[in-house]
Structure formats: structure tokens, C-alpha cells
Amino acid sequence: MKRDSAVDGVVVEPLRVIEDERGAVLHMLREDSPQFTRFGEIYFSEVRPGAIKAWKRHLRMTQRISVPIGRVKFVIYDNRPASPSNGAIMEIVMGSPDAYSLLIIPPLLWYGFQGLSDSAALVANCADLAHDAQEVERQPDLDNTISYNW
């Protein structure tokens, strides 16, 4: 079941966790999922407590993100001129076990995230394109172009 999104095109979908006394298996993405389009690369980003990694947007890449370890707040800002959610800001807190979800961020949306855990959190990203420095734009996290107070 997908949750409604304040930003057009963003999807938040709960993910399956299979747990027993030995530990847990945390599903993220399968090739037969309607959310899968193509594989570009998978990478992991460590987020230290309180650390902010913002702002960036991809021009062509779609992000497929989960947080298997720890707790992370994601903030997405839509400044696409023709978007029905132009000007909207969406916050979502994700992490295992109770908020383990898949967050899909389409191209042209600004986003950033902040570590909320007492120890480092781990963000997993299964992007549909391999990293290309020419297709990403960045702004400093304290840049007031995006009206958000971390």
C-alpha cells in the first residue's frame, strides 16, 4: 500500500521485513516490482547523528531509497514550474523496523536528509542510472533559496 505524497511523483511504499530470533531480512526492490525500471547503481551513504546532507537534485536519475539501519529524515522540495505541487515541501522519516519504506524521488526534485539516530544510519540507494557528475546539481544546506529550517 502506497502512502499519499505531498510532492507530485514521489512514492513512499512500506517494505517487507521478515524477522525471527536470528535477525531480519529487509527487502528493498525486486525486478518484478512495478517500482523497478532499470538498474544503474546501488550505493550506501552513512549519515552520522545530526548530520545534514543537502541540497541536491538529479536531472535524469530516479532515486530509490531505503534506510535499513537507523533513522533518517528526508526533505523533498518541488520547484518544477509545471508541477501541480510546485512550491511544496515534503518531510518523511524512514528507518527500520517501524518505518522501513521505499522512497522514490523522480528527477528534478531537490532533496536532502538528516541523521536522526543516536549512532550512524545507513541509506541505501538503488538508482536507475550510474552516477554522472554532469547530471546532478547542488546547493549548500544552509542556502536560503529553499525555505526549510533544518
Q: Which tens digit of pLDDT belongs to each residue from 8-55?
A: 999 999 999 999 999 989 889 888 888 888 888 999 999 999 999 999
The backbone region for 50, taken as left when phi is positive above 0, alpha when psi lies in -120 to 50, beta otherwise, is left
Domain presence at residue 123: yes
Q: Residue 96 has what pLDDT?
A: 84
Q: Is 124 helix (H, G, I), strand (E, B) or coil?
A: strand
Query: Could you tell me which residue, 105 or 37, shows the higher pLDDT?
Result: 105
CB atoms within 10 A of CB 90: 19
Domain presence at residue 79: yes
Domain presence at residue 3: no
The number of folded domains in the chain is 1
109 in Cβ contact with 76 (< 8 Å): yes
Q: Which domain holds residue 57?
A: 11-138
| The three three-digit cell numbers of residue 135, written as one number | 547530471
Query: Could you tell me which residue, 122 or 24, shows the higher pLDDT?
Result: 122
Q: Which CATH number covers residue 114?
A: 2.60.120.10
Q: Residue 97 has what pLDDT?
A: 76
Give the percent of the chain with pLDDT over 90: 75
Domain presence at residue 120: yes
Domain presence at residue 27: yes
